[in-house]
Every structure is written in C-alpha cells, then in structure tokens.
Amino acid sequence: MQAKNIIIAHINDQDEKLTYIAKEIWDHPQVALTETFASKLLAKELEDDGFTVEWGAGQMPTAFIATWGAGKPILGFLGEYDALPGLSQKLTTEKDPVEAGGPGHGCGHNLFGTACAASVMALKAAMERENIPGTIRFYGCPAEETLVGKVFMARDGVFDGLDAAISWHPGSTNIVWNGSSLALNSFKVSFYGVASHAGAAPQMGRSALDGAMLMDVGMNYLREHIIQEARIHSVITSGGQAPNVVPAFAQIWYFVRAPHREQVEEIYARVLDIAKGAALMSGTTHEIEFITGGYELLPNDTLSELLYEKMAEVNDLTFTEQERAFARSLQATFPAQSLEQDFAWTQKSVKGALSREDLQDPLWERVLLHSDTPPTLGGSTDVGDVSWITPTGQLTTTCWPLGTPGHSWQTVASSGSSIGAKGMLFVAKAMALAGLDLLTKPHLVAQAKADFVRAKNGKAYVNPLPENAVPK
C-alpha cells in the first residue's frame, strides 16, 4: 500500500512539470528519425532522476534506453515521440496550422513518451523508498509512425531478456488493447527507364512511370486473390517531371498488411513477381527497397487483466465543462459518420453493452472492461515486434473526444490541450502501478510468460529486416 501511495503522490506532485514536458514536445514536433528535441528532453529528465542513458539503439541517433535498478524482474516501458508530416495545428477548434505543411502530433506521441517516462520515475521512487528489487527500463523509441523504430531496435536485441513490457496509446476511451493488429511490409519499388522527347522521339524512350503504373495495375488484380482481411495501399513518390519528357525514373511506395506475419510474406512474394512483370512489360529495370516489416500484436491476457485492474483502481480521470465544450467544438468538425464509427468500434471492444446516450458525452471518463473477443486493429504498430519477444500489455486512455479521426489536425489540437494532459497523467499512474505488481508478485510474471508461450504457439520471432538494412 505504501509503494502505491508513493507512486500516485509522485505523479500528482509532478503533474505540472509533466504537462509542461508534453506541451514542449507538442510545440516542437519532429517526424520519424529526426526527433532530437523530444528524445533529448526526455532523456535529460530521466538522467537527472538517476537513470543511466544509452543512445543509438537500432542505429538510430534519436533512440535511447534509460535504465535503473538491478536484478530481476526486468520491466520495459515503451515510449514514443515522433510526429506526423503535414499536420501542423494551433491549439484551436478550427483548422489553423502553426506552419503550413509542417508536422504535428496527430497521434498524440507528445503524451505517449512523457507518460511512460513519468511511470518509470514514479516506480523508481517507490522502489527506492521500499527497497523493491528489480530493473526498470524506459525505451525511447523513434519512428513508430513509419513502423521502423522498434523493429530495428529488436534486430539489435535490446528487448531480449525483458520479463514484460508495458505500453499505451492516446485515444478516445479508457480501455485495454487486448486485440491484435496487422502485420506489415513497407517497401519502395523504383523503376529505371530511358528519357526521350515524348512527342518527337517516343520510340527512343522507356517510361519508368509506365513500369510503376503497370505494377499498380497488377497489384489491383492481386487484390482479388488475397485474403479479405489483407490491405494494400500505395503512393507514387516520383512519377516524372514534365509530360513531354519520358520519365527515366519513377517510384511507388507500398504497404502490404495482413493479420499474420506469414500471410504478409506470402503476399509479398507475389508482389515481387508483379514488379518483375511490370519491368518486362515497360522495358525498364527495377529495384526493391525494403524499408521495414513488422509483426502483428500478440495480446497477453494476464497483462491485459492487470492493466484493467490498475486503471479501475486509479479511476481519477475527470474533465471540466470547459474541456467538454472544447471537445464538442472539435466534434463539430469531424467527417460524417466519424462519431458513429468510433462508437461501433468501442462497442465491439468492450464487454457488455454501451448506451447510445453515451454519444452525448464527448469525453468518456469511466474505465471500460475489454471484450474477450476484441476486433483486430486495421492499422499496424511496431509494438507488435516487441510482443513477440516478451509478454506485452497495452492500453489507451481518453485524450481526445469520441470520434476523433486518427492522424488528423483535430487529434493534434486535443493532444496539446488539457484533455490530452489529463489522459496522460491518468495512464502514467495505471502503468506504474502495473509495474509495481509485476515487481512484487512473481506469479504475475510467470502467468504472463505462460500466456506468451501459448500465444506464440511454437512460432519463433524472426526479425523481418534484410541483412544490412539501415533505418530510413
């Protein structure tokens, strides 16, 4: 009981400082692999608190590991802090960028890393006062938005030896994420042709853009013959510079997603043949640049139950009428059906029924019990790779209004507001209390490891990166 009180008091005493840190990161958004401001700020806080900091995990200058304590168990807290391009936004309920085309925290990672740092510092305070053995680590993980950071860190073995990992993500409800996510391959296909005058001598040219477009035609036909749950999406990153010049270079960037890693690999093998065919048809050559791959999230029942228990135990999240008014103003700008879609997803994710009257409340304060059969997330996360290395639990708390579209300016606005800060402080307490139980109740670690072994079902984690891959 004493250790619990120390943790709660530590975070409550630091609430203004933690809110300031999160807002500073919000004010200085930087995209994947460039997060120098956030990583240095968080690392300094942890180092000043007595943690030993090591930089450069996974060949990434903005990755770091902060460690305190000794012996077993070893617990990892996964922090993120990268922003998204093109989502710059002021702290207002109307779309108004700080910098046109600039980055913004459209996934709330300014809150993400700060909450995990708050958790380990509070946990350290309790461990010191109560002489609790064990090791705690904060993992400063860059480039989650591009699914790069933790995959490269995992390749370097930095998560090996962990007894458990804890993570979270800002959201619109207070609930454990006990469902899975989609495995993924991210890769670019570059085509090389021959430039020529498109009007005077087209026969002399070989269009790299034709190669890219023919490949996308092939990919569209492939969609008919893959599992329904798979996803393929792309952007043309380079398609030429002028219509009267046959493009000598073109590039298309793909994500291939599916519920399981082996399904992604099966689809990817067919994609490679499509690329070859497109090059043959267009008379070009091609190269594949594999950027990253990732595993689906492997839920852990023991950790999910523990995180729910601790959220319900803290249960101190309250919003003011002013904050609700801000949230309603944001909701008024959402795309049609956004609110209904979020409500329907939440309904599938919880145990028991929700009332449609709940739609009238833009900010949900109560803790929801997760379903035994949750839906699979349509997106991907590099937390998935960690979950195949060590038992991993993840939760979300209310930092945005219900219905907030992901990766949007509205998410940026809410993540920089007091709404986001309150959700961050709430989850920091819950994660730290969960860590305390894992440190002091060995049977929980044993149960989590047993769940982990069952969930893997004899499959081994094989890092998906090719040899000599570098983060980009």
Question: Is the distance from CB of 166 to CB of 307 less than 8 angstroms?
Answer: yes
Measured distance CA(133)–CA(151) in Å, rounded = 29
Write the pLDDT tens digit of every residue in 189-241: 999 999 999 999 999 999 999 999 999 999 999 999 999 999 999 999 999 99
* % the chain with pLDDT above 70: 100
Q: Which two tokens stand for residue 119?
A: 């958790």
Residue with the two structure tokens 């990166």: 465
**pLDDT at 223 (0 to 100):** 96
Quote the CA–CA distance of 276 and 414 in Å, as a whole number.
46
- pTM comes to 0.96
Looking at residue 1, its pLDDT comes to 62
pLDDT digits (tens, 9 = 90+) for 119-178: 999 999 999 999 999 999 999 999 999 999 999 999 999 999 999 999 999 999 999 999
List, for the chain, all residue ranges whose pLDDT scores fall below the cut of 50: none
What are the chain's domains? 2-181+296-456 (3.40.630.10), 183-294 (3.30.70.360)
CA 62 to each of CA 38, 143, 292, 311: distance values in angstroms, whole numbers, following the listed order: 9, 9, 18, 31
| pLDDT value of position 161 | 95
Is the distance from CB of 191 to CB of 284 less than 8 angstroms?
A: yes
- Strands 74-80 and 164-171: what pairing? parallel
Give residue-wise pLDDT tens across range 251-278.
Answer: 999 999 999 999 999 999 999 999 999 9
2-13 helix and 109-130 helix, angle to the nearest 10 degrees? 140
